[in-house]
Amino acid sequence: MTEWQSTIAPPALARLLRTARRNGPERPAYRALAGQLRLLVAEGRLPVGTRLPAERELAGALTLSRTTIAAAYEDLRETGFLHSRRGAGSWTALPDGCRPPADALFPLPPGDDGRLVDLGVASPTAPQPLFGEAAARAVEQLPAYTNGHGHYPSGLPVLRETVARRFTDRGLPTTPDQILVTSGAMSALDLLFHTLLRPGERAAVESPGYAHALGALRRAGARLVAVPQQRDTPQALPRWDLAEWRQVLHGAAPRLGYVVPDFHNPTGALIDEAQRRELLAAARAAGTLLVVDETMAELAWNVPADSLPRPVAALDRDAQVVTVGSASKLAWGGLRVGWLRAAPALVRRLAAERLRRDHGTPVLEQLICAQLLGERVDELRELRLAELRAAAGALLPALRERLPHWRFAEPAGGITLWLDTGGLSGAALARAGERTGVRVAAGSLFGVDGAFEGYVRLPLTVPPAAAERTVERLAATAELALRDGGWAAGGPGEAAAPAF
């Protein structure tokens, strides 16, 4: 359970309840109310650990009897969605058994026999012939670096210059001494979290959030505070709920906040500049450092490039932002090169700390990355965007046709698709996939405390020619999960099962 409890006021809960869809007639009234509250918790819109209003207060806000509220609360306690303690109140929870198989995001060696459809890992293949040409050129350059020890804790100067120039071109003036090259974005995040956080300190995170980053924060000993995203309709991309962010930043005083504003993983959302400014101001007022993950930032396949907001750090005047990036999505995941941008003093501190872990990223990989992100970066980006448009153009219509009860908002960009399964358990889908040969990333991997059980994340890396076959296999997996009674906690349960 989360370590920090927020409190939701009766009027705010009443407004939230009006947005919770009903899954068919539920009578009496207390069961309808309990069902809506279960749904809000399961979807992550009412964070686990939120203290609910007292029965009398909520009864007044909803114009229901106190008996109805008391019965709904008792129903929630019996099903594991509410914990209560005399004199302390009642707070939201999730029942046991909401955890999906944890290995769905673990990369497997690629196979070509077609027996396994891997929808767990969102990573593209290497762009050819660009990658091969860049590698050949890097091998030619390598002998110039072999006369020394080969250790570059801050990164090769040529790559630091290249990455700094990429930031500058995107509207964020940057010098090489603000760049630290790492062995992938996760290496940068792990180094940041272990250096800046003391065990037990709080970290605010989006809900849903990037699963691997949530895991890295937990390994660093952080106490996670989930901040739900705001979504107007199931077909709309989410936004930051700035009222919730202000409450968390003021009330929980987290040491840092981790956000993915550019083509969010897993939802694909793009946060506008006004919201970026507001969150930055709230973080500055609270003394919270923002860690901004820009791994997907250049994958704008579904919005005009000239409409993109400026990087969050471009709106910062007080070194309140550390930006993390990677070559894994634009170039290739096998090229283990990432970076972070921060104040020069922090870069030096992190480079010194890094020596306790490794002495630097491999020189050859850095040279390949410098080639790809240098003069040919525009060519690389257009190739990758064309691939993503083609993949989405085949996969999304197939999903709408074959799984019409699943709902999703078309991503603004990035490489992931977030689907509401209509109450079907993502964990049950993952278990069924073990029999049908489909690896599925259940939504609860991306939620704190197991929220989002009724969601799955799909990668936008399915080749267009394989889209229909992939969705057919996924639909067969959904049918099997339904036959096994695989409703998510808070899902429709009593409603008629949809026909796939």
Q: Is the pLDDT of residue 23 over 60?
A: no
The stretch 435-452 carries a mean pLDDT of 88
Please give the pLDDT value at position 13: 85
The stretch 307-326 carries a mean pLDDT of 93
The stretch 214-241 carries a mean pLDDT of 90
Q: Is the pLDDT of residue 115 over 50?
A: yes
Q: Is the pLDDT of residue 500 over 50?
A: no
Give the model confidence (pLDDT) of 267-276 as tens digits: 999 999 999 9
Please give the pLDDT value at position 97: 53
The stretch 138-157 carries a mean pLDDT of 94
Q: Is the pLDDT of residue 496 over 50?
A: no
Which of 199, 300, 213 lies closest to 265, judged by CA?
Answer: 213
Which of 56, 114, 65 lies closest to 90, judged by CA?
Answer: 56
Please give the pLDDT value at position 498: 34
Q: Is the pLDDT of residue 102 over 70?
A: no
Please give the pLDDT value at position 84: 86
Please give the pLDDT value at position 90: 87
Confidence of residue 112 (pLDDT cuts 50, 70, 90): very low
Mean pLDDT, the chain, whole residue set: 88
Q: Is the pLDDT of residue 489 over 90?
A: no
Please give the pLDDT value at position 5: 60
- The Cα diameter of the chain in Å comes to 81
Please give the pLDDT value at position 171: 92
The stretch 156-176 carries a mean pLDDT of 96
The stretch 291-308 carries a mean pLDDT of 95
Task: Specify the higher pLDDT residue, 412 or 35.
Answer: 412
> In degrees, to the nearest 5, what angle opens at C-alpha 475 toward C-alphas 470 and 477?
95
**Which range, of 24-38, 191-205, 438-452, averages the lowest pLDDT?**
24-38
Task: Specify the higher pLDDT residue, 460 or 95.
Answer: 460
**Which range, of 84-98, 153-167, 287-301, averages the lowest pLDDT?**
84-98
Give the model confidence (pLDDT) of 391-406 as tens digits: 999 999 999 999 999 9
Whether the CB-CB separation of 28 and 72 falls below 8 Å is answered with no
Tokens of 239: 């936004």
Please give the pLDDT value at position 458: 97
**Which range, of 44-48, 174-178, 299-303, averages the lowest pLDDT?**
44-48
- Global confidence as pTM: 0.85
325 beta partners: 339
Please give the pLDDT value at position 234: 65
Structural domains of the chain sorted by starting position, each given as residue range(s) with its CATH number in brackets: 10-92 (1.10.10.10), 117-122+379-483 (3.90.1150.10), 130-376 (3.40.640.10)
Q: Is the pLDDT of residue 186 over 90?
A: yes
Please give the pLDDT value at position 322: 97
Please give the pLDDT value at position 357: 85
Give the model confidence (pLDDT) of 469-486 as tens digits: 999 999 999 999 988 877
Tokens of 417: 């698709």
Q: Is the pLDDT of residue 80 over 80?
A: yes
Task: Specify the higher pLDDT residue, 217 or 488.
Answer: 217
Q: How far apart are CA 379 and CA 442, in angstroms?
A: 34
Confidence of residue 94 (pLDDT cuts 50, 70, 90): confident
Please give the pLDDT value at position 259: 98
